[in-house]
Amino acid sequence: MLTLGIDPGLERVGYGVVRKVGSKIECLDYGLIKTPKILIPERLKIIHDGVVELIAKHQPDALVTERLLFTKNVTTGMDVAKALGTILLAAADTGIQWTEYSPPEVKQAVVGTGAADKKQVTFMVRRLLALKEDPKPDDVADALAIAICHCFRANFPK
Amino acid sequence: MLTLGIDPGLERVGYGVVRKVGSKIECLDYGLIKTPKILIPERLKIIHDGVVELIAKHQPDALVTERLLFTKNVTTGMDVAKALGTILLAAADTGIQWTEYSPPEVKQAVVGTGAADKKQVTFMVRRLLALKEDPKPDDVADALAIAICHCFRANFPK
């Protein structure tokens, strides 16, 4: 079963593709969809089309994101939510299942504590996926963490 | 010049299509795109496809929305922003120009004061567009108000 984890943003969208094989999780792909500082609708189109392309390439069984919880910068939060809207649309366009987890759920699944910091998340993502180097930047590590969380949490059909 | 005003939401998206002819503004269409309480990606698809359809039908020169400013309910605000993301994507998909105005700018343009209430906005929208009845619900009145604001504010090419 293939899972596409996505960490949305307007400037950078982190993604990670993982496969659960028995009790192990393999990393198939990860990276960033970046957008230049052009008009917002055009940036959203790059994001949407990029996710549609990832789905076409990997044919994942699920698209997974982190629940948005904003308290700090409302304007940035709105832009992240706009980006997420177009990512969820890509899921609907291609008919793949979407699931979301809260940030503490993701940290709990990957590190074992809901209060883990970014460094711990990166360390455990690298270890769980047996990567040769740290997944960077944080957007990528987060996307992989979300995908790993889904592998641990979801009830995969046999 | 044709303007499509849109008031986004996850449950209801208000829209209004107006044309500026000299100093007058004509109303060509208005209504709601409604979504049932299904999964969010499916709701976003209904919204996106509905807006694409409106653009195809009316061939507007601009799509106009109100700037999102949330202070009350963050969860609802996020859902509105997700919906707006898919609406802006529809603008990018079809290559039409997008503009946004703040709520006080819209009220100022339509009622003459940035502190106008919803009743005054509805009253002035009906009057300016010479409608036979009040545009309802508020989502529709707001969408028409946004479109009217753009007619007053934008520098239309001759």
The 10s digit of each residue's pLDDT in B15-42 is 999 999 988 999 999 999 999 999 999 9
Cβ-based neighbours of B52, under 8 Å, separated by 6 or more: B90, B93, B94
Please tell me the distance from the alpha carbon of residue B48 to that of residue A157, in angstroms, as a whole number: 32
What pLDDT, in 10s, does the model give residues B70-123? 666 777 889 999 999 999 999 999 999 999 999 999 999 999 998 889 999 999
Cα–Cα distance measured from residue A134 to residue A126, given in angstroms and rounded to the nearest whole number: 6
The single residue of A7, A42, A53, A61 carrying the catalytic annotation is A7
Angstroms from B104 CA to nearest CA on chain A: 17
Cα A67 versus chain centre, distance: 11
Residues of A in Cβ contact (< 8 Å) with B51:
none
Tell me, what's the pLDDT at A47?
A: 98
Give B4's strand partners. B17, B63
Active site residue B7: yes
For residue B77, what are the CA distances in angstroms to A115, B41, B84, B129? 26, 16, 10, 30
Average pLDDT (A72-76) is 75
Show residues of chain B in contact with A77, CB under 8 Å.
74, 78, 81
Q: What is the pLDDT of residue A37?
A: 97
Min distance A10 CA to chain B CA atoms (Å): 10
Give residue limits of the domains in chain B. Answer: 2-153
Residue B81: which of A42, A82, A93 has the nearest Cβ?
A: A82
The whole-number pLDDT of residue A75 equals 77
- Please tell me the distance in Å from B71's CA to the nearest CA on chain A: 9
Name the helix (H) or strand (E) containing A105: helix A103-111
pLDDT above 70 covers what percent of chain A?
96
- Assess whether pLDDT exceeds 90 at residue A49: yes
- The CATH superfamily label for domain A2-153 reads Ribonuclease H-like superfamily/Ribonuclease H (3.30.420.10)
Question: Is A26 a known active-site residue?
Answer: no
List chain B residues with CB under 8 Å of A85.
44, 81-86, 89
What is the value of pTM for the model shown? 0.93
CA nearest to A18, candidates A119, A156, A111, A112: A156
Q: Is the pLDDT of residue B158 over 70?
A: no
pLDDT value of position A118? 92
pLDDT at A158 (0 to 100): 40
pLDDT band at B156 (very low <50, low <70, confident <90, very high): low
On chain B, the residues whose CB falls within 8 A of the CB of A62 are none
The closest CB to that of A70, out of B74, B82, B88, belongs to B74
pLDDT of amino acid B77: 86
pLDDT in the model for residue A153: 87
pLDDT at A23: 86
